[in-house]
Amino acid sequence: MYVDIVIVVTAIIIMNVLSPSKNFIISLSIVLALGFFLLFYCFFTRASLAVQMTLMIEHILLTASLILMWLIFALIKRLLKDIEDLRRRVIELEKFDGASALLTQSEFMNRVSLITTGTKRRGETNFYLKFRVHVRENTIDAMHYIFAEALLHSVRHQFDLVTRLSNDHYLVFLQNTNEQGAHTVVDRLFHTLRHQLNLLDIPVTYEMYHEDAIDRLDDLSLKELLPI
């Protein structure tokens, strides 16, 4: 009886550390090893039928306990993994604006600050583009969805950053580029919008900023870019 308690306590400690697959192998090994030990014990000691039945019942109970513990620990570890995955997912979603791939303003500013530290050290130049979408009230949602998707496809996914400042304004950070590169992004965007909207006169205006003309990104986003 005391041996069973020691085995159970030891198994609890081990299962708390190892993975479910390893815990299953260990539990199976304990059950088989103890089963063979009891078999040889009863054989060599010529144990009575009553003793054999008692040992058999204890072995069955121990086996059931180990299986139950394995299931419980496997479930707990699975739940903890799911919780951790959800936590990482929430953290990732907090970086984006709604269901789109646009960055939130805070995440945008954090990334710009990190990137510009490196680009200044390497002597690279960056540009900002501010867009304003002019649409009728009844087409706001559709137009902004089309514009956001077109804008995201017009920039370099691994290098450039996009955020939405207000209902009508968007801000783009173009990393390691020049004025010609910034105009290329604008041309690509307007070409995509003309194709999708089937319009020659796209209801979008833009302004271009060189990073040297901006002292602080907060000033750019909160003073110059937000509509007055």
pLDDT digits (tens, 9 = 90+) for 108-134: 888 888 888 888 888 888 999 999 988
pLDDT digits (tens, 9 = 90+) for 16-74: 888 888 888 888 888 888 888 888 878 778 878 887 788 888 888 888 888 898 899 89
pLDDT at 126: 92
- Of the candidate ranges 43-47, 166-170, 196-200, 221-225, the one whose mean pLDDT is the lowest: 221-225
Say which residue the tokens 């299986």 belong to: 67
Give the chain's mean pLDDT. Answer: 81
Bridge partners for 172 per DSSP? 129, 162
Q: Would you say residue 226 has pLDDT above 50?
A: no
Q: Kindly list the distances between the CA atom of residue 221 and the CA atoms of 10, 86, 103, in Å, as whole numbers in the listed order.
A: 60, 31, 14
CB 165 within 8 A of CB 131: no
pLDDT at 134: 87
More confident residue, 28 or 2: 28
What is the pTM assigned to this prediction? 0.56
More confident residue, 139 or 143: 143
Look at strands 169-174 and 204-210 and give their pairing: unpaired
- Of the candidate ranges 84-93, 117-126, 132-141, the one whose mean pLDDT is the lowest: 84-93
